[in-house]
Every structure is written in structure tokens, then in C-alpha cells.
Copies of this chain bind each other. A is one copy, B any other.
């Protein structure tokens, strides 16, 4: 149950079987930092290539294909005062005929992030929103493990191994579960957002560097198909694919499996429960793979 402090010096823009930056054990905690989506650190220095550069990979001792890795987010906090977002909706989230009505210049907006006030405030460009201020809701947009089959998958997208899911519910206090595909699991973390709307429909949250603390747990012999998660109130599954319909199919199927395997429900009971109680949340509808979250309240499962 060691606590590791890790200062990254190398970053990856794909998740693959790369040399580990640190070996950790079941129960260990890691305190580290992530750069923003364009590779800028807490001092706004560009230290990595753009495209969700990742801190890691962390090798979890004893993790083998067929296990599950649990990652608890102990602390996820922006560590600088300047964040940025895109300033135009993505073309794919509006009707094709409306694309020409989107802003023609695709510049960036800048936000001041105030951890004391727990707010983000739009500082430029000048718009009719003025000094638009919204609460912080820090989250990680992109994190996951090395994928199967010797693959190295771009941090622009996501799949069964996690990746760029851009779901605003992956925040402090949540535990995320990943299938282990390679020895050591090889965990990556990055792409902090000070907050983000559903769907990440401008293609960004408020992109910013983070202080990250997480604790891992290894579930030997536990096999799952897609990322799962839980917090105090909900269990959740993530499906990553296009179209959104297919992402929803993956998430719903994984939830059915979870309810049947771990909560003692058969297909009929699980269907009746989900039919009247399921909640869906849209992770992203911007990245190559979209993300749909399927949620069930824990109090329904007692």
C-alpha cells in the first residue's frame, strides 16, 4: 500500500505496450501530474505532442490478461489557472444543412480556473456571454490500459481498453474498472478537463493540466468486457463505438452481464429492472468512437 510520487518526463499519444514508467502493486497509490490535450503543463510549457498525451504507463504487478484493474480517483484537480476550449460546435453534432451556420473561425476560448471559488470564467473571446462563470467539475477525458493483440490505439479514440471516452462522470471519487489485456495492465492517465458538457460537442472540455492521485486494486480472475465504474450512488458501464446506438448496445450488454454475474439477477429480472430504472448519459459524440454510459442506482440493487 505504498504511495508513489511520480514526475512524468515522457508522454504517449497512443495506448500500447510501451516500457512502464513505474511498477506499482495492488493497493498502491500514485500521485502524479498530467498535461493538457495540447501537451502543456502546469507552467504552460509545451512538454509533449498534442492529442491527449498520457502520463504512464504504470505496470501493476501481478496483473494478467483476464484480470480486472480497478482505478480509484482519489484526487483530480486542475493545477494552473488557464484552461482553453474550442469555440465552435463540431460539424457532426448538428444537421448537415446547419454546418454552414456554425462559426466560420474555429479559434480557441480561454477560461480562468479558480480553485478557491471552484469556478471557471470565460475570459476571451469577447462574446455576448460576457464573463460567463460556471462551476468546476474536474474529470479525466482520456485514460485506460494497453489494448489487446499488440495494438497501440490513438488517444483520440476509445474502445474496450478505455481511452478517450470524454465522459464528465469520470471524476474524483469514482472507481473505474478495466479489462486487463497485457501483463501489468499498463495504465495511462491524461486529458484533464476543468469541466465539460455532455457529448464534448465542441471537441474539448476546459482543457487543463491536472494533479492526479489514484489508487489501484487488482481483481484477479475477474473478467469484464468493457470499462465499468461506480461511485457512491451508481454502477456504470461504458460502451465506446459509432454510432451512438452501438455504444449504447455495448454499455447495456455489459450492464446486463454485471447484473447477472454479480447481483444474482437472471435475464428477465435484469430486463424488468433496467426497463423502468436505467439511466443513460452521453460521454462524447465527437471522437472517432462515441461513448455511452449505462447507469443503475445502487439502492435499487439491495
Contact = CB atoms under 8 A, between A and B. Distances in A.
A249 interface: yes
Count copies of this chain in the complex: 4
Nearest to A12: B150
Contact of A267 (B16, B102, B205, B246): B102
A29 interface: no
A101 interface: yes
B99 A267 contact: no
B199 A280 contact: yes
Contact of A129 (B253, B272, B279): B272
A25 to B, nearest CB: 28
A9 interface: no
Nearest to A275: B202
A208 to B, nearest CB: 12
A271 B198 contact: no
Interface stretch (A34-42, A82-90, A171-179, A213-221): A82-90
Given A252-B201, A253-B94, A268-B103, A275 B128 contact: no
A101 B267 contact: yes
A188 to B, nearest CB: 13
Contact of A153 (B151, B206, B278, B290): B151
A242 interface: yes
Interface string A102-135: 1100000100000000001010010111001010
A256 interface: yes
Nearest to A268: B103
A47 interface: no
A103 B271 contact: yes
Given A265-B128, A271-B202, A242 B242 contact: yes
A265 B154 contact: no
Given A153-B153, A243-B242, A95 B248 contact: no
Interface in A64-109: 85-103, 109
Contacts of A153: 151, 153
Contact of A268 (B12, B88, B204, B256): B88
A224 B91 CA distance: 21
A7 interface: no
A275 to B, nearest CB: 3
A14 B149 contact: yes
A290 B246 CA distance: 13
A290 B248 CA distance: 12
12 contacts: A12-B150, A51-B149, A89-B252, A94-B252, A100-B100, A120-B276, A128-B266, A197-B274, A197-B276, A242-B243, A243-B243, A245-B285
Given A92-B96, A95-B250, 14 more contacts: A16-B152, A89-B271, A92-B245, A95-B253, A99-B99, A102-B271, A125-B268, A134-B276, A149-B156, A151-B152, A197-B276, A202-B275, A241-B242, A280-B282
